[in-house]
């Protein structure tokens, strides 16, 4: 079962080169399961037993179910759709020596830059086009080896293996073409989308690693892929959500965007997207604002964003005792300064949940002299305060274009999510 779930995960990631595509894929799976698509621009008519999904910016998604019997609690799993990458700038072509054409890009999120060299990359995202006097949003994925960031030969940089500092404006620009036939990205976009170049008005385009996910190791115990952080959690949450009975709670599968750049957007964890949705569910059930606050007080959220596993070559970078391992279970994340919002209550609830689901759990705390990052939980709690635990699945090479996890851990989270939503 572990291997089948991991294969499903890798297939899901392959279809999700950007946050836009990940949300599109999740919505397709939800509608196939009978979920009704809602629009924030329209009135919602909600009924007991109903299943609904709403998106914002085409890059964040919330799906929820209302049980037949009356329920006064939300059970929420929140993850994120975005991953570190290079975003293509406006007017991207830079011509070198009247021959080479490279693309002007900028960093999106905190990333490991070195692994982006010398690997086949493609371009995906969304494009806004003008058609019949209206603006339309179109998703695009070239889905072929289109660009590459070539390394500088060792002969020209003898210090390359002694530690190199990369300048993203100079060192990380991908090679696009030799300039033949007046090639431009705009021209390729127009051909791919079958629109006139002049009708392409804007875009959100990103580079992505073309190397497919793989299962490997002496006993096939490892899984590697692009964008494990955080599509691994988003996928496991969705699979558990779709597989659960969801009879006793208002179950919410929430996937937010822009976590890698601070969540401070209309579709991020700091936005009102989750709050707005929960309020509209509350009003759709004919309840007062006070009753909404009462419901929050008895609700629970799992903030799911991947965690650092102990690295076999850098054991000194981990806490002496709270260092999770691959294939050893879901990671509960702690931080005294509330970069993670886990406390004694939420940790106990989640440990009990895992025990009931029959899945192992482990703990992560940063070394006291190494600051860590933050995630969805504490940010979203400023909008919708409730008991929340920060968890993740253990992985290596976080924020690399090719990350590594354990084959067992995705299935562990699927089982825990099923138990939680049930």
Please tell me the predicted confidence (pLDDT) of residue 32. 97
Contact 354, 361 (CB under 8 A): yes
Please tell me the predicted confidence (pLDDT) of residue 266. 95
Give the C-alpha separation, 354 to 350, whole Å.
6
pLDDT bucket at 375, cuts 50 / 70 / 90: confident
Mean pLDDT across the stretch 393-416? 98
Quick check: helix, strand or coil at residue 388?
Answer: strand
Structure confidence by residue, pLDDT tens digits, 150-186:
999 999 988 888 888 999 999 999 999 997 667 899 9
Mean pLDDT across the stretch 245-263? 94
Structure confidence by residue, pLDDT tens digits, 66-125:
999 999 999 999 999 999 999 999 999 999 988 999 999 999 999 999 999 999 999 999
Mean pLDDT across the stretch 388-413? 97
* Nearest alpha carbon to residue 389 among 397, 381, 398: 381
> By mean pLDDT, which of 11-25, 155-169, 224-238 is the weakest?
155-169
Give the C-alpha separation, 138 to 129, whole Å.
7
**Whether the predicted pLDDT of 374 surpasses 80:** no
pLDDT bucket at 135, cuts 50 / 70 / 90: very high
Model confidence, pTM:
0.95
Domains and CATH numbers, the chain: 2-83+226-421 (3.40.630.10), 85-209 (2.30.250.10)
- Assign 3-state DSSP to the chain and report helix, strand, coil percentages, each to 5: 30, 30, 40
Residues whose CB is less than 8 angstroms from the CB of residue 212 and which lie 6 or more positions away in sequence, other chains included: 10, 14, 225
Residues whose CB is less than 8 angstroms from the CB of residue 209 and which lie 6 or more positions away in sequence, other chains included: 116, 119, 120, 121, 226, 401, 402
Structure confidence by residue, pLDDT tens digits, 327-351:
999 999 999 988 899 999 999 999 9
Tokens of 220: 């096939």
Geometric angle at alpha carbon 4, from 15 and 328, rounded to 5°: 105
Distances (CA, A) of 414 to 82, 366, 421: 20, 26, 11
Quick check: helix, strand or coil at residue 132?
Answer: coil
> By mean pLDDT, which of 31-45, 137-151, 332-346 is the weakest?
332-346
Please tell me the predicted confidence (pLDDT) of residue 28. 98
Please tell me the predicted confidence (pLDDT) of residue 179. 78
* Nearest alpha carbon to residue 357 among 236, 180, 276: 236
Please tell me the predicted confidence (pLDDT) of residue 329. 97
Give the C-alpha separation, 259 to 390, whole Å.
14
Contact 415, 398 (CB under 8 A): no
Average pLDDT, the chain: 95
pLDDT bucket at 241, cuts 50 / 70 / 90: very high
């Amino acid at each position: 079962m572990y291997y089948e779930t991991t294969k499903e995960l890798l297939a899901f990631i392959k279809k999700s080169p950007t946050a836009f595509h990940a949300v599109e894929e999740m919505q397709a799976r939800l509608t196939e399961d009978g979920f009704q698509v809602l629009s924030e621009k329209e009135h919602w008519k909600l009924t007991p037993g109903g299943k609904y999904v709403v998106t914002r910016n085409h890059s964040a998604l919330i799906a929820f179910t209302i049980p037949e019997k009356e329920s006064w609690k939300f059970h929420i799993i929140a993850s994120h759709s975005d991953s570190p990458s290079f975003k293509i700038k406006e007017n991207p072509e830079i011509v070198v020596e009247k021959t080479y054409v490279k693309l002007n890009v900028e960093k999106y999120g905190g990333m490991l830059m070195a692994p982006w060299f010398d690997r086949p990359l493609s371009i995906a995202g969304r494009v806004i086009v003008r058609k019949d006097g209206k603006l339309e949003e179109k998703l695009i994925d070239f889905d072929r080896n289109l660009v590459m960031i070539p390394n500088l030969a060792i002969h020209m940089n003898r210090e390359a293996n002694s530690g190199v500092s990369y300048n993203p404006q100079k060192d990380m620009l991908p090679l696009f073409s030799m300039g033949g036939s007046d090639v431009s990205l705009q021209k390729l976009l127009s051909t791919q989308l079958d629109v006139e170049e002049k009708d392409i008005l804007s875009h959100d385009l990103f580079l992505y690693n073309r190397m497919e996910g793989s299962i490997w190791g002496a006993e096939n115990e490892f899984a590697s892929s692009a964008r494990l952080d955080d599509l691994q959690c988003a996928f496991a949450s969705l699979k558990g959500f779709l597989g659960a009975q969801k009879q006793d709670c208002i179950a919410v599968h929430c996937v937010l965007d822009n976590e890698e750049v601070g969540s401070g957007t209309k579709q991020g964890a700091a936005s009102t997207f989750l709050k707005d949705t929960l309020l509209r569910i509350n009003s759709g059930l004919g309840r007062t604002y006070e009753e909404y606050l009462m419901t929050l007080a008895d609700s629970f959220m799992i903030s799911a964003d991947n965690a650092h596993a102990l690295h076999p070559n850098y054991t000194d970078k981990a806490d002496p005792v709270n260092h999770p391992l691959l294939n050893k279970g879901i990671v509960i994340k702690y931080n005294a300064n509330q970069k993670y919002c886990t406390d004694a209550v939420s940790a106990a609830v989640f440990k009990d949940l895992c025990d009931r689901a029959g899945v192992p759990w482990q703990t992560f705390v940063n070394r006291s002299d190494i600051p860590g990052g933050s995630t969805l939980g504490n940010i979203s709690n400023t909008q919708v305060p409730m008991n929340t635990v920060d968890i993740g699945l253990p992985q290596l090479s976080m924020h690399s274009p090719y990350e590594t996890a354990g084959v067992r851990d995705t299935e562990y989270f699927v089982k825990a999510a099923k138990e939680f939503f049930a």
